[in-house]
Structure 1
Amino acid sequence: MHERMTEEEIRCRRLAGQHLLAPAPARTVVRDLCGVQAQFLQSALHALRIRSGGACGPERLVKSWTIRGTLHVFALEDLPVFLHRGRAQSPRDCDTLGADARVDAARKRFFADLILQRIEAGENTREALRAACRSAGMTDGEAESIFNAWGGTIRALCDAGLIGYAVCEKKTFMRLPDFAPMEANEARLEMARRYFAHFGPATVRDAAYFFGATQSQVKTWLDRLPVRAISCSGRTYYALEDGPGTPDGAHDIPPCVLLAGFDQLMLGYQKTESLFFRPEHLRGIFNLTGIVAPTVLLNGRVVGKWKRSGRRLTVTPFEAVRAADRRRIEEEALRLFPALSGVVFTEE
């Protein structure tokens, strides 16, 4: 027989699992959440900050392409999991070490080896690497492939587990330590275990959305994991038996959280069935160009989005927000960003 929960109980358990009720070390956070998406690094650092109780250092963290083929920050010790054998690779020829329309395979391999040598020598910024390749004869056409803005040879070396992005605002690369990639089935099962432990309770559709997998694949993982089934509002949710949970009201839902852009709390669940925002607010969060806005979570529900520009933070509510709640939002903004000159509420 399925356990029963209310939507509020599920929200509370998800917030606990995602370290939004009690802070944890940054390396614990990235491990439990299968990394944090890092399309914009400042968003990833903010996601870690609100879960780890303060600024997080980049030590033992790396950035590379992982889940859904997107950039994530994760722990170096998880290289075998996220860069596992048989994982999906970019479909673009320029993101491989093979020939493409601009560079033949031998030439690309030559520049790939040069990039590795320069990184090992400490010339690890994108600008320095491009300059080194230029000095070695790289043409403008070859540069469009090798230093492609969305990947190129840099991505091929990242996908091969040879280099990764250092976790800093400037595009800087690091040589990765040697590691033994896990087999695909075991790595995916480990990621699913973390998901149902820290994103759960979650539905099959939620997990399929997060991993970019089929529902059949998710059901295969569930068959191998010690999960419990939970019923709520006609849907079945799953959570790991020994997941973090929320012991007997030990934590209350926080009155206000300023979530990051591309936050795992938004990306972790099928967006058309989210328990954290109303359906009519979906396009205010997920726009049509693929951007996921930083949002204001008030008493466990998204009520608007926010943006910081210099010393000003602007909040755009999706619905009426009471004066007392506006004060809570302002207090949280000033706690996170003490140098702010003001918090402004505006309409779309």
Structure 2
Amino acid sequence: MGDISEIEVIAPNFKRRLSGVTSTIVQLIPKQIEFGCRIVTLGPGLPENLPKLGWSRLPGLWMRPRRHRVRVWHARRNNEMLTGWLMKAVLRMPLKLLFTSAAQRKHSHYTRWLIRHMDAVIATSAGSGAFLQVPHTVIQHGVDLKLFHPPETADDRMAATGLPGRYLVGCFGRVRHQKGTDLFVKAMIELLPQYPDWTAIVCGRVTAEHRAFGEELVKSVAAAGLSDRIRFLGEVDDIRPWYRRATLYVAPSRNEGFGLTPLEAMASRTAVVATTAGAYAEMIVPGETGAIVPPDDGGALTKAIAAYLADPDDALRQGENAVLHVRSNFAVEKEAMAIGEIYQTLLGPRLIESR
């Protein structure tokens, strides 16, 4: 956006590597723009197609926007809240501060102090809202149904993978203890010898600090003689086709913020087994679109997965239900509209009509 006077909302992204927060921004902003929101991003790690505000243009924020007396600074991390507070309270820029909270844990004193200085707060789930000590609005994340959709071409089918078996069960995300990747692998080692029609994949990056964890998982699979049926694909270029190829998706996280992957899987016509971490329990209908188990309970996770491996037809049925459920309740457009209402409240009435 060339004219800074037209900018009304700034969505900072102060993390270079891809994360759940970054993924949310990437999916959400194009929809917000479609709905007429005059929004830009600030920071690294975002696609070139998103409108950006360069750091050198920050002094321009002292100037009020053309249509309102203030702008909205929409933070999603502590450092983004702090930057917004400094610009508003210290530099006296005309800003209203909005924070979206996804964490389901007790906040530190520092985080609580920052949150108290926000003008409005959004919780991404009832679970995350329960840890807030300020008034807030619950707005659940949505998924872009144009990007995540049921199989359409031959490349979206299990047969296109070249992997053995008829059905695919997947676990996607960073490979680490927090994500419960080990619980998934242990379940697969136990179950796959009983269900020869199924193959398992793990997709996700292994960072240096978790390399030993990842290597132990690979060794355990090799020791079980299942290296051909439990594959570690690493960080794939495009995860979306893998959702469509899978008949079952497993989200075994021990703890999570919100967690978009079950929604992405369900939108792709894939049933989901997930723990109660993050907002998973608020997005899955047990017995209809998937199953929910306690976090860090390998026995319960294995039992839930086994039911689907034993009855692929039921997994396919629940995948069909999942698409309808996500379309009705978790479209990203619904999220964008709800956030837009918060923006309008913070911006206040227009000073002049749009030209």
- Same-fold status (TM-score > 0.5): no
With normalisation by structure 1, the TM-score equals 0.24
